[in-house]
């Protein structure tokens, strides 16, 4: 790693402060005021707008396999999604995904 100590601390401090300001942003600025309906209508879709896009490249091009598609990881992603849709439960969804992944790897797939 080719960074001076001060550069690393600048990065950690900057990332920490910046992340806090992002997280606090609307909690701090808006206070108790209600926001317009069209804003709320957009924000309602924030989680399903960000997280699938965050996951998709990780599933299709897993870093651990150097970006090559991988059957256990693809199957685990499908199992997590399917069980989550079916049960509407985050708990069962995670267990299905982890079980599928480690099961297939244990079987040597």
Partner 1 sequence: MTTASNTGIFLRAALDGAPFMLVVAPFGLLFGVISTEAGLSLAEVIAFSVLVIAGAAQFTALQLMLEHAPTLLILAAGLVVNLRMAMYAAALAPHLGAAPLRWRLLMGYFNFDQSFALGLQAYEAQPAWSMPQKIAYFLGVALPLGGLWVLVTWLGAVTGAIIPDNYALDFAMPITFLALVAPGLKSPAHMAAAATSIALALALAWLPAGLGLILAAMAAMAVGAEVERRGAGP
Structure token digits, residue 95: 């267990």
Q: Judged by CB under 8 A, how many residues of this single chain contact partner 1?
A: 80
* CA dihedral (66, 72, 75, 76) positive or negative: negative
Q: Choose between 32 and 68: whose C-beta lies nearer to partner 1.
A: 32
Asked if 109 touches partner 1 (CB under 8 A), the answer is no
Q: How far apart are CA 93 and CA 109, in angstroms?
A: 21
CA distance 38 to 20: 26
Interacting positions 26-65 with partner 1 (CB under 8 A):
26-28, 30-35, 38-64
With binding defined as CB under 8 A, does residue 71 bind partner 1? no
Nearest approach, Cβ of residue 68 and partner 1 (Å): 13
CB of 63 to partner 1, least distance (A): 6
Task: Provide the token pair at 29.
Answer: 């600025």
* Closest separation in Å from C-beta 36 to partner 1: 11
The neighbour count for residue 73, using CB atoms within 10 Å, is: 20
């Amino acid at each position: 790693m080719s960074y001076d100590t001060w550069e690393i601390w600048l990065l950690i401090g900057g990332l920490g402060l910046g992340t806090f300001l992002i997280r606090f942003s609307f909690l701090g600025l808006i206070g108790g005021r209600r926001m317009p309906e069209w804003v709320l209508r957009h924000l309602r879709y924030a989680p399903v707008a960000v997280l699938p896009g965050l996951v998709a490249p990780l599933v299709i091009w897993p870093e651990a396999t150097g970006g090559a598609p991988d059957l256990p990881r693809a199957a685990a992603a499908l199992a997590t999604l399917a069980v989550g849709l079916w049960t509407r439960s985050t708990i069962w969804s995670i267990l299905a995904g982890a079980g599928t992944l480690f099961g297939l790897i244990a079987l040597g797939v």
